[in-house]
Amino acid sequence: NLDGVDLTPEQRAAFGTFTTRSMGYAQTISDGLNALSQKTDNKNVRLDAQQQKSLSTVLNALGWKVAADGSISNSNGEAVSKGDLDQAQKTLQNGQQFERGFQQSKEDFIRSKLFAGMSEAEMKNIGRVLDIQQQLTKKEMELASKHGSFG
């Protein structure tokens, strides 16, 4: 809720794009972790194009890759175990990478030219809304890892 903040249509559109992108990231990570789990269970499983894209995002974030035989290997070329997968989920959901990325994006967003004329109080209000968005995104990622993707 942006009480006391009068946003222009351009600012509202940018705000919507930012929150949509944030939720999209959570969905991509969720889908990628599901695909990773499938590949860990069965290296020959067929993934559709969207699953492959999500898997690539997760593998890149972890520094892992699909080996020539279809199995998942870590940065040392070792096969990824279920324990590694569980740890990876925790890393991506609670890790500093997500926090740093979100905080930097948030700061860049609210300090952009689009919002340059706003008062400090208005920017803090927008910052609070974005923080709530981050909490929702993290919760979605956590729930998706426990119960599967929502998409």
Longest dimension (CA), the chain: 57
User: Residue 131 is encoded by which pair of tokens?
Assistant: 């923080």
Rounded Cα distance, 71 and 84, in Å: 13
Q: Which of 91, 64, 96, 90 is nearest to 78 (CA)?
A: 64
Q: For the residues 48-76, what does the mean pLDDT come to?
A: 87
Contact indicator for 141, 30 with CB cutoff of 8 Å: yes
Average pLDDT, the chain: 79
Task: Report yes or no on whether pTM surpasses 0.75.
Answer: no
Tell me: the pLDDT tens digits for 79-114? Answer: 888 888 878 877 776 655 667 667 777 777 777 887
Asked if the model's pLDDT at residue 34 lies above 60, the reply is yes
Contact indicator for 92, 66 with CB cutoff of 8 Å: no
Burial of 73 (0-12, 13-18, 19+ CB in 10 A): middle
